Structure 1
Amino acid sequence: MQIDVAEALNLLCVDDLKALARQLPVPPLANRKAELVTAISCALLGPGLNALWERLDALSRSAVAEAAHEYRGEFLAQQFPAKYQRSPAFKESNKPAALGLFIYRHFAERSLGIPTDLRQRLLEFVPKPASAQIQTVAEPEPVPGLVQRQTELDAAQELALVLRMLETERVTLGGKTGVASTASQRLLLAKLPAGDFYPWVEPANKWEQHIGPIKAFAWPLLLQAGGLAKCVGTRLTLTSAGIKAMSVAPAQTLRLLWNKWLGNHLLDEFSRVEAIKGQKSAGRVMSAADDRRDAIEQALQDCPVSQWVALPEFSRFMQASGRDFVVTHDPWKLFIAERQYGSLGYEGSHTWGLLQHRYILALLFEYAATLGLIDVAYTDPTELEGGLEDFRDLWGADELTFLSRYDGLRFFRINALGAFVLGLSDTYQSPRPASAVGLRVLPSLSIGVSSGALDEQARQMFDTWAVQLPDDLWRLDRSKALVALEKGYDIQALQAFLQDHTTQDLPESVAAFVAECRANALAVKASGVATLLTCCDAATAARIAAHPKLSALCWCVEPKTLVVRTDRLAKFRAVLSQELGLGLVA
């Protein structure tokens, strides 16, 4: 607050100054404004300041401490009640309370704060307040219909499945949004081993709300944001990084996807709160989503691992710890049902709970939980009392079953994978081996199952490097191996996988197979792209190939045919014209 005590007091009326003067241990007898300002200033900046502060109640002392230790000297009126569960009293019987001696309103800056000279004195003895703490519970509070999902293993399996699916199935995107088509989301949902968080239920009509896909919606976007997949035409295909990810530990790839998602511009998660219209109105309506994600990630990093956190508590903690963020620059452009009457610009219609809290739910449920960072406990928001009810008084909300599909999220817990991804742990150990299947590898390069059953990881490995035989056997195949190596797969990952799932050393024939395939894959290397040129006759071709400046740019492969590297074609054309007076036509 860039004013001193005298300036702050001069902004008050005489009646308020008299009320503040009565809060002093020895009220002055002055009645004129200048005299009151001088008397109060002397009391605040004199030796009795500590005693004045001690006379405040505990909550008011906390308010002064928070403002004094805020780097601008401001009192953060939104943050304080989130941290202390209530607000301090600035008024008593409609008159300034004792707290008004310390914290003033600066009308020019539109803020509450402590004057600079007073703040310097207070910092000499006012202790720094403790940082905000988040409350956790051992287990979620039981409510009807509550479902708990542990997501670590699901995320690892789904990652492998989706990467493999992009190789074998046609996953299409709708328009330029990067969002998978409805048919592709259905296809993906049907293949998820543990299913989506909610079943896909078709709405009875176009007005009925339905939850729809969450994981099946998120995975294609996550892969694109992470650079593991890209759109070619309308089809989503793996990139070279996506192919390599199939041979990398899932935890490493999941961490990559989360970090890439934090800065992506493919999608604003709040756009999935479809009941709130106007998000794409003209002008700068919505804030930058990456700033919101950063604030939420910082708050997650302060959460204890393996402890359940209620969503309202996490939302409160974000405000109390100063991790607030903006969802919209202009709430008047957002609305429910009808643009004028349903506008969220009205007082009480754009609260933290309605906007910021819904964004927190969307990011955590659809992306953090899908990637396996957090375990979740949730209810069905379409059921009675299954979701949040804070939107019921909004104009136009009568017909809404829920405000967002994520309203049923009640609790979350950062798991071991989440601790690794969020940087809270340097290492990660999967709760069980990536694949529990036992294998029998024969010298003939045949592979059989000795115990357990093939899971998604094993099937993906065999589909890439082997052909299936009768009697549940597979055999390593050189042709498939060469195709895989050309795509960028790592054959060492195959060898390590086989060794990890057999109790004996691998036959020498397997090592020979690996070495041979690696060598054969490198036998021929693409060194460039060339253009074939056909001359009018063999004499012209020979003349060009023999020219001192052109001989280094082309090769004569047939009597009338020349080959020129495409990257040298422009230079070849120029020399051909200048030196020989010959043209080159398409």
Structure 2
Amino acid sequence: MLITGALCLEVKSRVSAGGTRISAGGRRAGVGYGRKIEMRSGIQGIARPDFLAVLVEGDPLAVADWEDVNVRTIITFADFWPLLLGRKCSEELPRLPMPIISLTEALNNLTVDNLKSLMRWLPEASRIGKKSGLVEEILRNLAGDRLQALWEGLDKTQRLAVAEATYAEDGCFNATRFRAKYGRLPNFSVRDERRRHEHHGPPTALCLFLYYQNGWRYVPADLNERLMAFVPAPEPVRLDTVDSLPGIYGESPLSVRLCERDALADLPLLLRLVDQGKLKVSEKTALPGTATLQLLCGQLSGSDYYAEPVPGPTDQEIGPIKAFSWPMLLQAAGLVQRNGSKLVLSKAGLTALTTPTADVLVKIWRKWLKATSLDEFSRIDVIKGQKAKGGAMAAVAPRRAAIAEMLQRCPAGKWISIDAFSRFMVATGHTFDVARDPWSLYICEPDYGSLGHSGYHDWDILQLRYMLCFLFEYVAPLGIIDIAYTEPAGARPNFHDMWGTDELQFLSRYDGLAYFRVTSLGAYCLGASGHYTPAPVQSSVRLSVMPGMQVKVIAGRLSAEESLVLDMWATEEADRLWRLDLQKAIVAVERGHDIAELREFLQARDDQPVPDTVESFIKRAGKEGKALKVAGTTLLIDCNDAQMAAMLATRKETAHLCLRAGDKHVVVRLEDEDKFRTHIRALGYGMTA
């Protein structure tokens, strides 16, 4: 069954858990304790010693007969399930609201052994007596200036941990964010080389400041107030940048791609290719086909990111990246539409041909942030199960929004390592989910290779890989960021401990992305800058436009886009020689292109004025290309004889609905068909197909 949510209840006693009754959608169901319960009306309940969960398919929950059960919170099923099983679902488990308790209550929650272990850090405290006496002894030793002296005795990392929790809104110590910010964690247990697990050792003095409850360490409310008097507020999280790129990343050289310049050249080229019917996608999946990918790899600025060698029998194929994303971006933005398998320009696409390229790129970016046509993570094809029944993957829009928000905070023109950006997101709490249920995802084999196992669905495996794909394949082609990258093989080997990865050289084709920097165009697209002025594009080609309608390249070489523009209006007669073609020009005008575009193109590349004959050609093509206009779609109706056709064309009831077309035919507008049929039936006639 599809589980859509979980109501989490705190159970005060085993008896009350067994007696609680819960209704969903107006239907009642009994709930037991400590086992999985199949309840009526398709509802399931799962209980644990300290929590009771009722999972409901679709219906809203209503709770009746509360007795000793208190509502704690409502969280998603994907996050609650690992709490029940004792497994980690995401890097940071959802934190249930905790009551604000005092230091006395926190100490009373500890066992006598725990209290005595803490008292080793309080030399003047007596360890003799009952639990209440031990609590009083600890409180006495934490009174006054002794608390500050104890804090000053902590090491630097432990003091930072106290500061982070003290100034956190909820008073909790967030280990995930702390590690991302400082690169290390504080010691809560005394290190002992004889012990296998560090957390099994006796507590450090840090445990006198941070107390454990419900999976989190927190500062008691009254202790928090005292700590704020002398504990300095922690420094805000900073995003590290680099002044210059290293020549080598790992063991491979870095390649740098200036994507802003490429995007400004690629988009007009792509629109021209679509206009000429050269791009095709699958009718079923809308993904670009092999021929289209090969064409784009050869046409896009600088080709694709990787020059694809012929893979050996054991080599992983990297495949196209930029060539794959552009057809998807154009479709999502509504600039193209499918006509069978062929992409054609939409009305918005035709408008985009004469719109400033930067403004069109902004539109594509904003449309992609909300698009649902593709989950970028599906491109990490070694991870299977993404289309599992029930929906293994989380929504894509929140992922993109989280990354886009953090890109806005990146200084334009500064190189940032992917790892630093990733840590910055985690440290500031701007995280996102990739999978609702990582147990549905797997590598090679669903059981042993399931990503639900501990360490298989960490941030660096799922979220970071998604981020790499999003930045490399979609953000960079739009010119929002420049990128520095290396070969993916061996770039991020942090997956090799996972089952089934022995033969993999990389987990994703995007593993080689190492650095990026937000461009001026990127700041404009992201909303960090209110204006953008592209550098003027200077064409290196010089043309000679001759009175005989010939256009000759006399200097330089036509770019791919310039060749497509000429091909729209002219026919190539020889190398570097073209002839203006009236039939081609009329077809272009029919498609919605402005003939003035040809005039501007020629004038910008020829030092001489356009010849009069060519000017006449331009005016004629512009006029004759619009000589006829489709006013509507009609039906051609064949009458029995000429008398019937004449009667229908002249009779008052039908004359305004049809026109004579030859001796025995009349035509009727498609939208007038029903009215025409009604009138001829009234006259005693019928019309068959």
Do they fold alike, i.e. is TM over 0.5?
A: yes
2-side partners of 1:50 and 1:508: how far apart? 91
Pair 1:249-2:347 in alignment: no
User: What's 2:269 paired with?
Assistant: 161
User: What's 1:377 paired with?
Assistant: 484
Is the CA contact 1:152–1:373 (under 8 Å) kept in the aligned structure 2?
Answer: yes
Shift of residue 251, structure 1, vs aligned partner: 2.6
User: What's 1:491 paired with?
Assistant: 595
Shift of residue 82, structure 1, vs aligned partner: 0.5
Shift of residue 566, structure 1, vs aligned partner: 0.5
Shift of residue 458, structure 1, vs aligned partner: 2.2
Shift of residue 233, structure 1, vs aligned partner: 2.0
Q: For residues 465-504 of structure 1, give each alpha carbon's deviation from its aligned partner in whole angstroms, at most 9, with x where no partner exists.
A: 3344568454554433332222122334334444444456
Is the CA contact 1:464–1:484 (under 8 Å) kept in the aligned structure 2?
Answer: yes
Q: Which moved more, 1:191-200 or 1:355-364?
A: 191-200
For the structure 1 residues 8 and 486, does the alpha-carbon distance in structure 2 shift closer, same or farther, using more than 3 Å as the test? farther
Shift of residue 398, structure 1, vs aligned partner: 1.3
Is the CA contact 2:272–2:565 (under 8 Å) kept in the aligned structure 1?
Answer: no
Higher relative contact order (CA 8 A, sep 6+): 1
Is the CA contact 2:116–2:127 (under 8 Å) kept in the aligned structure 1?
Answer: no
User: What's 1:81 paired with?
Assistant: 179
2-side partners of 1:21 and 1:151: how far apart? 60
Is the CA contact 1:199–1:212 (under 8 Å) kept in the aligned structure 2?
Answer: no
Is the CA contact 1:4–1:117 (under 8 Å) kept in the aligned structure 2?
Answer: no
- Select the residue among 398, 404, 412 that pairs with 2:516: 412
2-side partners of 1:524 and 1:123: how far apart? 80
1-side partners of 2:457 and 2:498: how far apart? 10
Is the CA contact 2:658–2:666 (under 8 Å) kept in the aligned structure 1?
Answer: yes
2-side partners of 1:530 and 1:97: how far apart? 87
For the structure 1 residues 29 and 433, does the alpha-carbon distance in structure 2 shift closer, same or farther, using more than 3 Å as the test? same
- Select the residue among 551, 561, 564 that pairs with 1:457: 561
For the structure 1 residues 535 and 78, does the alpha-carbon distance in structure 2 shift closer, same or farther, using more than 3 Å as the test? same
Is the CA contact 1:278–1:334 (under 8 Å) kept in the aligned structure 2?
Answer: yes
2-side partners of 1:534 and 1:44: how far apart? 103
User: What's 1:237 paired with?
Assistant: 344
Pair 1:286-2:382 in alignment: no
Q: What amino acid is the match of 1:583?
A: G
Shift of residue 136, structure 1, vs aligned partner: 1.5
Q: For residues 371-411 of structure 1, give each alpha carbon's deviation from its aligned partner in whole angstroms, at most 9, with x where no partner exists.
A: 333222222234xxx42111122122111122111222222
1-side partners of 2:655 and 2:162: how far apart? 85
Is the CA contact 1:3–1:116 (under 8 Å) kept in the aligned structure 2?
Answer: no
Is the CA contact 1:435–1:458 (under 8 Å) kept in the aligned structure 2?
Answer: no
Pair 1:179-2:287 in alignment: yes
Please give the residue correspondences for 1:134-533 in structure 2 after superposition, counting only pairs within 5 Å. Answer: 134-143=239-248, 144-168=252-276, 170-174=278-282, 176-205=284-313, 208-382=315-489, 386-431=490-535, 433=537, 435-441=539-545, 447-449=551-553, 451-468=555-572, 472-474=576-578, 476-503=580-607, 517-533=621-637
1-side partners of 2:486 and 2:569: how far apart? 43
2-side partners of 1:47 and 1:530: how far apart? 94
Pair 1:585-2:688 in alignment: yes
2-side partners of 1:538 and 1:118: how far apart? 103
Structure 2: unaligned runs, 5 residues or longer: 1-96, 192-200
Please give the residue correspondences for 1:16-27 in structure 2 after superposition, counting only pairs within 5 Å. Answer: 16=114
Is the CA contact 1:74–1:112 (under 8 Å) kept in the aligned structure 2?
Answer: yes
- Select the residue among 639, 643, 661 that pairs with 1:557: 661
> Secondary structure of 1:274's match?
coil
2-side partners of 1:120 and 1:335: how far apart? 48
Is the CA contact 2:272–2:561 (under 8 Å) kept in the aligned structure 1?
Answer: no
2-side partners of 1:283 and 1:318: how far apart? 29
Q: Which moved more, 1:118-127 or 1:436-445?
A: 118-127
> Secondary structure of 2:666's match?
strand
Q: What amino acid is the match of 1:76?
A: N
> Secondary structure of 2:407's match?
helix
For the structure 1 residues 556 and 4, does the alpha-carbon distance in structure 2 shift closer, same or farther, using more than 3 Å as the test? same
2-side partners of 1:227 and 1:26: how far apart? 74
> Secondary structure of 2:661's match?
strand
For the structure 1 residues 58 and 533, does the alpha-carbon distance in structure 2 shift closer, same or farther, using more than 3 Å as the test? same
Shift of residue 531, structure 1, vs aligned partner: 0.9
Q: Which moved more, 1:428-437 or 1:142-151?
A: 428-437
Structure 1: unaligned runs, 5 residues or longer: none
Q: For residues 236-265 of structure 1, give each alpha carbon's deviation from its aligned partner in whole angstroms, at most 9, with x where no partner exists.
A: 333333333333333333333232222222
User: What's 2:639 paired with?
Assistant: 535
User: What's 1:133 paired with?
Assistant: 238
Is the CA contact 1:550–1:575 (under 8 Å) kept in the aligned structure 2?
Answer: yes
For the structure 1 residues 471 and 399, does the alpha-carbon distance in structure 2 shift closer, same or farther, using more than 3 Å as the test? closer
